């Protein structure tokens, strides 16, 4: 076994003289050169790492893929030898035995280390060994690992053999593909109807392979035009994906990189665009070795884990690292769009602008959506005409210069416009949710304001966050709990405890209402069921049905509001069929079961906060789409809701004003809980009238700004019998004018009128 010594070639003083003016033009080949790159025609691998600029030495250690016992990266400790003096100096680093090979990496400047033409084949294992200036020997995985089979294990050399099938889609010849265009106001995304999905809960198996069956269903029903995958960045377990620590590696428990490519290719073949969710704002708290690898993170972690050094000292390659992650998903996995998680928590708008700049340059068709949360700050999504006219390198120089002022001079600067193509519309979501759950004075005035500003933003009623981060229950269950005032029908020592109990009582009541034998329950049997659920007051069967019918109507009203605002729209998995399954937060850290075996403290603390246990094998089964199959008097509810959404999407497709029109007028009547908005595109005009009240609204709308001197026809009503409604419509075959428009709306319903 060859022993590599740390000689003068790798001394600190000599390396400082090697610093060179690196070309930061950042061509795509440079972006893709990091990590372990297998060179097929040579049968060799090049390794490239950003580490500490003042490290004494960096090595890559390689093991054959057949070698066992490499599950934990820290178990095979390397041997070190040193000499005493004024300070200990490490002179040798050697492998534990002859089963691995150790290669020194050459420092090319600014903390970039490389080793080329190394005998490493696909799936061979490797790790980096960093000898810091303080003589610490850090054993770390690759921040650019493209295959990471164990979150605390060695990285694997990745070489894809997947052959893409839907080439016409990738070449832009399939008209179903949605691409970004640098034009206001809708950025080319007006056709986006996104189904947000979580692979682990989409099916019982929770894998990419199993998801294909659901992809078939999504495509066949023609409600969505795109799927958005909650992050599949590598984590220890099946979970939501927002605790990822391997930003380039696909979660192996879901099927790994090749199966993900297969799923994306399959979705393209079905006419569905694919949006990849990525997390640039933090590292997960489990399996994070970045701080031992180089200056990737700030000194103190944030609320959710390690936060990144995007604007501190030695930040340039940290920013490149995350920008390269975006390019990796866009280029290697052929996704059509990227969604960036909670961008305001990145702590660097320059990083965000860099990601947008790089993706627009190298993959100009790929659109980028932010979850920003800064109340729709216009600069987040405003198209920057000046930046578009500048060259790629000019924009990057501007970003580098701005961050340099922050890092070295402590001057606060801002990049101005960031230029995302769209963002999640938090303000609209919050006010819509409030209008559905907490009706009160002036809510519709607020809804009116938010609706007008929402056109180029992604509109939705509830995402995974509003479901899982609160109590795990969906909109319909929340409506049932609120409608029945369950908060005051459960016992608890605090408002928080009562709120959780009310939510979970609502879930159990909803499942009871759609059960096969609900209609046959006697009052005594029903009382006993409700006592077991935890209610301290009896609710009769009629009241339960009224609450559930209200929930169905509000679910349709929520979707109707979202779908009738021009621009991109989104719904969460299962909401298109009124799925009642939980969506609980779940995850399992690598040492969690050991901690749980010692005591119940961890479990009890989690349950106290969430109202349920988040352990994967407990929470995930409750969250699988389709777990609850309605029977009895509500056996048709899912088919009715699916038909409603199919027909509504068909109306949107047939009515361009609903996709990309302009809002020309609105009206809200807080006294009667009615909101109206009018859309126009060329000669096409539509009018959407929505009743957010519990009463049957029968009113002349002439005083509500009903358009004068025009004729209209009703083209859609959410209250049709086939959708589970009363079947009432407003003279479907008759022309409606401002003189004869005595219109009626059922509780929590809406109608669409089209100008003749």
In a domain, 89, yes or no: yes
CATH number at residue 382: 3.20.20.80
In a domain, 697, yes or no: yes
Average pLDDT over residues 495-520: 96
Residue 72: pLDDT above 90?
Answer: no
Residue 574: pLDDT above 50?
Answer: yes
Judgement on whether residues 52 and 140 belong to the same structural domain of the protein: yes
Q: In what order do the strands lie in the sheet with 662-669?
A: 662-669, 674-681, 684-691, 750-755, 712-717
Residue 1: pLDDT above 80?
Answer: no
Average pLDDT over residues 643-671: 93
Given this model, what pLDDT does residue 78 score?
Answer: 84
Helical pair 637-654 and 208-221, crossing angle rounded to 10 deg: 60
Last residue of one domain, picked from the residues 125, 156, 187: 156
With contact defined as beta carbons under 8 Å apart, do 712 and 755 qualify? Answer: yes
Given this model, what pLDDT does residue 554 score?
Answer: 97
516-537: per-residue pLDDT in tens? 999 999 999 999 999 999 999 9
Average pLDDT over residues 552-567: 97
d(CA 435, CA 444): 7
Given this model, what pLDDT does residue 182 score?
Answer: 62
Given this model, what pLDDT does residue 84 score?
Answer: 55
Whose structure tokens read 């265009």?
181
Count of domains for the chain:
3
With contact defined as beta carbons under 8 Å apart, do 178 and 208 qualify? Answer: no
Judgement on whether residues 352 and 235 belong to the same structural domain of the protein: yes
444-477: per-residue pLDDT in tens? 889 999 999 999 999 999 999 999 988 999 999 9
Judgement on whether residues 89 and 28 belong to the same structural domain of the protein: yes
Judgement on whether residues 350 and 234 belong to the same structural domain of the protein: yes
127-184: per-residue pLDDT in tens? 999 999 988 899 999 999 999 999 999 999 999 999 999 999 999 999 999 998 766 6
Given this model, what pLDDT does residue 88 score?
Answer: 61
Residue 86: pLDDT above 70?
Answer: no
d(CA 723, CA 674): 21
Task: Write down the mean pLDDT value for the chain.
Answer: 90
In a domain, 586, yes or no: no
Given this model, what pLDDT does residue 11 score?
Answer: 31
Given this model, what pLDDT does residue 411 score?
Answer: 81
Please tell me which residue, 11 or 269, carries the higher pLDDT value. Answer: 269
For 20-29, 229-238, 445-454, 695-704, which range has the lowest pLDDT when averaged over its residues? 20-29
Tokens for 611?
């109202």
3-state secondary structure 181-202: CCCCCCCCCCCCEEEEECHHHH
Within 10 angstroms of residue 721's Cβ, the number of other Cβ atoms is: 11
Judgement on whether residues 323 and 388 belong to the same structural domain of the protein: yes
d(CA 156, CA 248): 12
Nearest Cα to 651, choosing from 692, 679, 693? 679
Given this model, what pLDDT does residue 8 score?
Answer: 30
Given this model, what pLDDT does residue 738 score?
Answer: 77
d(CA 400, CA 402): 5
231-259: per-residue pLDDT in tens? 999 887 889 999 999 999 999 999 999 99
With contact defined as beta carbons under 8 Å apart, do 534 and 502 qualify? Answer: no
Helical pair 495-513 and 541-563, crossing angle rounded to 10 deg: 100
Judgement on whether residues 12 and 46 belong to the same structural domain of the protein: yes
What percentage of the chain reaches a pLDDT higher than 90?
A: 73
In a domain, 247, yes or no: yes
For 34-38, 314-318, 401-405, 704-708, which range has the lowest pLDDT when averaged over its residues? 704-708
Judgement on whether residues 87 and 220 belong to the same structural domain of the protein: no
Last residue of one domain, picked from the residues 156, 184, 213: 156
In a domain, 475, yes or no: no
d(CA 740, CA 713): 12
Residue 658: pLDDT above 70?
Answer: yes
Question: In this structure, are strands 155-156 and 125-131 parallel, antiparallel, or unpaired?
Answer: antiparallel
Judgement on whether residues 40 and 182 belong to the same structural domain of the protein: no
Residue 107: pLDDT above 80?
Answer: yes
In a domain, 484, yes or no: no
Judgement on whether residues 218 and 357 belong to the same structural domain of the protein: yes
Average pLDDT over residues 9-15: 31
Tokens for 150?
């164990």
For 523-532, 638-647, 670-679, which range has the lowest pLDDT when averaged over its residues? 670-679
Last residue of one domain, picked from the residues 424, 456, 491: 424
Secondary structure letter of residue 308 according to DSSP: B
Nearest Cα to 102, choosing from 66, 137, 150, 153? 137
Given this model, what pLDDT does residue 2 score?
Answer: 30
Given this model, what pLDDT does residue 25 score?
Answer: 56
Domain limits at 66? 8-156
Q: Is-above-0.85 flag for pTM?
A: yes
Judgement on whether residues 351 and 404 belong to the same structural domain of the protein: yes
CATH number at residue 80: 2.60.40.10
Given this model, what pLDDT does residue 16 score?
Answer: 33
Q: How confident is the model at residue 705 (pLDDT cuts 50, 70, 90)?
A: low
In a domain, 224, yes or no: yes
Residue 3: pLDDT above 60?
Answer: no
Q: How confident is the model at residue 296 (pLDDT cuts 50, 70, 90)?
A: very high
For 10-19, 117-126, 232-241, 519-528, which range has the lowest pLDDT when averaged over its residues? 10-19
d(CA 549, CA 534): 23
Helical pair 523-533 and 495-513, crossing angle rounded to 10 deg: 140
What percentage of the chain reaches a pLDDT higher than 70?
A: 93
Cα Rg, the chain, nearest whole Å: 29
In a domain, 132, yes or no: yes
Given this model, what pLDDT does residue 83 score?
Answer: 60
Judgement on whether residues 111 and 252 belong to the same structural domain of the protein: no
302-329: per-residue pLDDT in tens? 878 889 999 999 999 999 999 999 999 9
Judgement on whether residues 113 and 246 belong to the same structural domain of the protein: no
Q: How confident is the model at residue 606 (pLDDT cuts 50, 70, 90)?
A: confident
Average pLDDT over residues 375-396: 87
CATH number at residue 713: 2.60.40.1180
Average pLDDT over residues 76-85: 72
Average pLDDT over residues 690-694: 91
């Amino acid at each position: 076994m060859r022993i590599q010594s740390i000689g003068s070639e790798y001394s600190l003083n000599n390396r400082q003289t090697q610093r060179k003016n690196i070309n930061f033009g950042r061509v795509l080949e440079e972006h893709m050169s990091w990590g372990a790159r297998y060179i097929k025609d040579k049968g060799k691998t090049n390794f490239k790492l950003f580490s500490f600029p003042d490290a004494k030495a960096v090595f890559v250690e390689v093991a054959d893929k057949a070698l066992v016992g490499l599950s934990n990266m820290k178990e095979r400790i390397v041997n070190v030898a040193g000499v005493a003096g004024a300070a200990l100096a490490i002179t040798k680093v050697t492998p534990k035995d002859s089963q691995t090979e150790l290669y020194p990496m050459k420092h090319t400047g600014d903390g970039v280390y490389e080793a080329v033409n190394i005998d490493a084949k696909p799936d061979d294992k490797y790790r980096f060994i960093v000898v810091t200036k303080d003589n610490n020997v850090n054993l770390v995985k690759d921040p650019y690992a493209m295959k990471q089979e164990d979150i605390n294990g060695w990285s694997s050399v990745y070489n894809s053999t997947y052959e893409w099938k839907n080439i016409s889609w990738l070449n832009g010849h399939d008209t179903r593909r949605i691409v970004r265009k640098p034009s206001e106001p809708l950025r080319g995304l007006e056709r986006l109807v996104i189904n947000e999905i979580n692979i682990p809960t989409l099916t019982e198996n929770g894998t990419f392979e199993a998801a294909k069956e659901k992809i078939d269903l999504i495509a066949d029903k023609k409600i969505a035009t795109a799927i958005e995958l909650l992050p599949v960045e590598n984590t220890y377990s099946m979970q939501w994906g927002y605790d990822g620590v391997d930003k380039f590696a696909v979660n192996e428990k879901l099927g790994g990189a090749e199966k993900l490519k297969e799923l994306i290719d399959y979705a393209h073949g079905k006419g569905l665009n694919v949006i990849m969710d990525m997390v640039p704002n933090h590292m997960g708290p489990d399996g994070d070795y970045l701080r031992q690898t180089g200056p990737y993170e700030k000194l103190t972690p944030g609320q959710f884990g390690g936060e990144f050094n995007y604007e501190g000292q030695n930040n340039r390659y940290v920013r490149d690292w995350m920008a390269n992650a975006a390019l990796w998903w866009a280029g290697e996995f052929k996704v059509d769009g990227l969604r960036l998680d909670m961008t305001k928590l990145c702590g660097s708008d320059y990083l965000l602008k860099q990601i947008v700049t790089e993706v627009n340059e190298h993959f100009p068709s790929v659109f980028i959506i932010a979850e920003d949360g800064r109340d729709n700050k216009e600069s987040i999504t405003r198209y920057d005409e000046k930046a578009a006219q500048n060259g790629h390198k000019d924009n990057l120089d501007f970003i580098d210069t701005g961050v340099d002022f922050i890092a070295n001079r402590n001057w606060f600067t801002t990049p101005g416009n960031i230029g995302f193509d769209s963002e999640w519309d938090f303000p609209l979501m919050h006010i819509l949710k409030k209008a559905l759950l907490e009706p009160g004075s002036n809510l519709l005035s607020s809804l009116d304001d938010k609706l007008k500003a929402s056109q180029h933003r992604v509109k939705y009623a509830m995402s995974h966050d509003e479901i899982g981060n609160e109590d795990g229950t969906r909109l319909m269950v929340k409506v049932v709990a609120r409608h029945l005032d369950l908060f005051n029908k459960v016992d608890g020592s605090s408002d928080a405890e009562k709120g959780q109990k009310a939510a979970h009582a609502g879930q159990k009541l909803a499942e009871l209402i759609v059960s096969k034998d609900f209609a046959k329950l006697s009052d005594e049997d029903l009382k006993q069921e409700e006592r077991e659920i935890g209610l301290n007051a009896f609710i009769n069967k009629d009241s339960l049905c009224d609450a559930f019918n209200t929930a169905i109507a509000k679910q349709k009203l929520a979707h109707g509001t979202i779908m009738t605002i021009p621009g991109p729209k989104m719904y969460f998995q299962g909401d298109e069929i009124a799925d009642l399954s939980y969506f609980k937060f779940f995850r399992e850290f690598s040492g969690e079961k050991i901690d749980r075996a010692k005591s119940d403290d961890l479990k009890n603390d989690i349950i106290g906060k969430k109202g349920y246990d988040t352990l994967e094998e407990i929470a995930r089964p409750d969250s699988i789409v389709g777990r609850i199959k309605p029977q009895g008097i509500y056996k048709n509810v899912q088919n009715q809701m699916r038909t409603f959404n199919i027909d509504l999407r068909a109306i949107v497709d047939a009515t361009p004003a609903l996709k990309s029109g302009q809002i020309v007028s609105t009206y809200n009547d807080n006294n009667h809980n009615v909101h109206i908005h009018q859309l126009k595109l060329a000669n096409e005009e539509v009018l959407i009238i929505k009743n957010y009240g519990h009463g049957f609204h029968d009113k002349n709308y002439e005083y509500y700004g009903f358009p004068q001197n025009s004729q209209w026809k009703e083209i859609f009503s959410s209250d049709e019998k086939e959708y589970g409604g009363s079947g009432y419509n407003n003279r479907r075959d008759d022309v409606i004018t401002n003189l004869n428009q005595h219109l009626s709306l059922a509780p929590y319903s809406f109608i669409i009128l089209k100008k003749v």
